[in-house]
Amino acid sequence: MYDVVIIGGGPAGLTAGIYAARAKLKTLLIERGMTGGLAATTELIENYPGFSEGIGGPELMSRMEAQARRFGLEILNSNVETLQKENLSFIIKTEDTELLTRTVIIATGAQPQRLNVKGEETFHGRGVSYCATCDGAFFKDKHVAVVGGGDAAVEEAMFLTRFAQKVFIIHRRGELRATKIVQERARQNPRLEFIWHSIVEEITGNETVNGVRIKDVRTGQARELAVDGVFIYIGYIPNSSLVKELVKLDEQGYIITDTNMQTSCPGIFAAGDVRQKSLRQVVTAVADGAIAAVSAEKYLERNR
């Protein structure tokens, strides 16, 4: 029987692990992939307090994991298949085992939203990517397109200019949604070219991507753009299906919590990108994780 089981090993989950384990609660973190979540795929994090020159996402997440382990956090690499409430405890079934816990912190994050256009699925891994840090080096001296206009899209486009000869940013509006400082840097980058008021209708290729068909949303005029890769950054979908029958979700599927990260189900807390909130950043994820762990500790004290 665990006091706390955290599902998800991104910055929210790892911080919850640090706080819970440090409070001497018997704590387990379950992560189906690599710890660190989306933050671990970000090349440079410039806005996390305490690092004046910025810090690499993989390094920051590695430090968080080491810190959590030092306080005694157990980490299990497995996929959670079901979560059930039984009286005042919860049964968690993974692909390998079955666990009991008194509280659960859901920190499963979100996954990239897809364009859902012809060719996207066909060429996934063969020119279509959702992670510039992971795949950028494959496009040395190539032409690539980035779809989106927010911070993630523009920052990853700038990262891709380290490898690609030309990077096109395709955005359905006539101005970016990224923060001003990010926009300024992008406009000064000679390898970046903006294609405004446009959407991708199809990704084309043979064995790998060789182009995209784009349409001007004002005129309806379509044209072909020759590129060797397409990186998609149009938003995220919360990974909340595990608890959709247990807790209240908003219309987009994000978990609704109060300020203590408590969900509508007593004993289940949520933290990080899977939670309904206005800002999804590493700094807000770690705050969520800390609050969730402390709230879980107080819940356990009340229900002993």
What does each C-alpha distance from 198 to 1, 78, 168, 173, 225 come to in angstroms?
54, 41, 12, 7, 12
Q: How far is it, in rounded angstroms, from Cα 259 to Cα 272?
A: 13
Stretch 105-130: mean pLDDT, rounded? 95
Q: What digits encode the pLDDT tens for the residues 12-36?
A: 999 999 999 999 999 999 999 999 9
Q: How far is it, in rounded angstroms, from Cα 180 to Cα 196?
A: 17
Burial letters 18-38, b for 16+ CB under 10 A, else e: bbbbbbebebbbbbbeebbbb
Stretch among 40-49, 106-115, 225-234, 283-292 having the lowest mean pLDDT: 40-49
Active-site annotation holds for 258? no
What does each C-alpha distance from 16 to 25, 31, 76, 168, 292 come to in angstroms?
11, 13, 15, 39, 7
Q: Catalytic: which of 3, 96, 131, 141? A: 131
Sign of CA dihedral 43, 64, 296, 103: positive
CB count within 10 Å of CB 247 equals 20
Active-site annotation holds for 131? yes
Is 193:167 a contact under the CB 8 Å cutoff? yes
Q: How far is it, in rounded angstroms, from Cα 245 to Cα 258?
A: 18
What does each C-alpha distance from 147 to 114, 167, 168, 195, 202 come to in angstroms?
10, 10, 8, 10, 12
In order of their start, the domains of the chain are 2-111+236-302 (3.50.50.60), 114-230 (3.50.50.60)
Bridge partners (DSSP) of residue 143 are 166
Please report, in angstroms and rounded to a whole number, the separation of the first and last CA atoms in the chain: 13
DSSP H or E stretch at residue 62: helix 57-70
Mean of pLDDT over the chain: 96
CB count within 10 Å of CB 217 equals 14
Is 164:80 a contact under the CB 8 Å cutoff? no
Q: Catalytic: which of 135, 228, 273, 288? A: 135
pLDDT for residue 117: 97
Active-site annotation holds for 265? no
The predicted model scores a pTM of 0.84
Stretch among 32-41, 135-144, 156-165, 200-209 having the lowest mean pLDDT: 32-41
Q: Catalytic: which of 96, 134, 250, 258? A: 134
Stretch 220-235: mean pLDDT, rounded? 96
CA angle 79/15/277 to nearest 5° reads 85
Q: What digits encode the pLDDT tens for the residues 118-139?
A: 999 999 999 999 988 889 999 9
pLDDT for residue 279: 87
Burial letters 108-119, b for 16+ CB under 10 A, else e: bbbebeebebeb
Stretch 52-80: mean pLDDT, rounded? 96
